[in-house]
Amino acid sequence: MSKKYHVTTTVNGDEYEYLCEAQQTLLDALRDELMLSGTKEGCATGDCGACSVTVDGRLVCSCLMLAVEAEGKSVATIEGMAQGETLHPLQRKFLDHAALQCGICTPGFLIAAKALLERNPEPTETEVRYWLAGNLCRCTGYDKIVRAVLDAAAEMRGA
Ligand code: FES
Ligand code: FES
């Protein structure tokens, strides 16, 4: 039997503990150990962005990070985005603009867009497109997503 590592980490503000194997990814630990299945696996090779989370405020592909590396870190996933019944403005604007279809990519887009707006509350369309270049969606098309992010940014600035 392979060795298991004990990890204590914070996810969406709550402290969690899990046991993982050395080669297990953070994505797998979130989904299989913590049962937080909102973070999706698209490619498992760092190409699609579906598995995006933030770790200590930095946007990362959780399929490329080992679960053991989350020790002592603060992870934010899509499950922490709404506050109770109240959706985050980005979530509302994705609905308003119909910026999603299958939804596999959507959590990653939302996490990435939130990370952008935390750094840059007033991005240009070009900046949004560049920032989201690591997130792939094959069924909606990017225009509605970009419009939703710009609209949410404006609302969050009170514009
Ligand atoms: S599943 Fe991680 S980048 Fe695609
Ligand atoms: S909504 Fe289907 S891949 Fe993005």
| Average pLDDT over all residues of the chain | 97
Instruction: Tell which atom from ligand 2 comes closest to the C-alpha of 103.
Output: 1
**Ligand 2, atom 4: closest residue by C-alpha:** 137
Kindly tell me if the per-residue pLDDT of 1 is higher than 80.
Answer: no
Name the residue of 63, 109, 132, 135 whose CB sits within 8 Å of the most ligand 1 atoms, as the mutation to test its pocket.
63
Token readout for 2 is: 């392979």
Nearest to 115 by CA among 93, 88, 139: 88
Cβ of 44 closer than 6 Å to ligand 1, yes or no, is yes
Q: What is the C-alpha separation between 140 and 101, in angstroms, rounded?
A: 6
How high is the pLDDT of residue 159? Answer: 77
Ligand 1 center to residue 20 CA distance, Å?
Answer: 19
Spatial separation of the C-alpha atoms in residues 49 and 14, rounded to whole Å: 24
The pLDDT of 17-43, averaged and rounded, is 98
Mean pLDDT within 44-50: 98
Q: What are phi and psi of 115, to 5 degrees?
A: -60, -40
Read off the pLDDT of each residue in 133-156 and give the average, rounded to a whole number: 95
Cα–chain center distance at 118 = 13
Res 139 pLDDT > 90:
no
Query: Which residue is closest in CA terms to ligand 1's atom 3?
Result: 46
Instruction: Quote the pLDDT of residue 2.
Output: 83
- The answer to whether residue 16 scores a pLDDT higher than 90 is yes
Q: What is the pLDDT of residues 64-90, one digit of tens each?
A: 999 999 999 999 999 999 999 999 999
pTM of the model: 0.96
pLDDT at res. 115: 98
Q: What are the pLDDT digits (tens) for 89-121?
A: 999 999 999 999 888 999 999 999 999 999 999
**Cβ 105 vs Cβ 118: under 8 Å:** no
Pairing verdict, β 58-61 and 52-55: antiparallel
Question: Would you say 11 and 34 are in contact if contact means Cβ atoms under 8 Å apart?
Answer: yes
Determine the pLDDT at residue 103.
87
| pLDDT score of 77 | 98
Given the structure tokens 């940014």, which residue do they identify?
A: 153
Separation CA 151–CA 9 (nearest Å): 33
Beta bridge partners of 7: 18
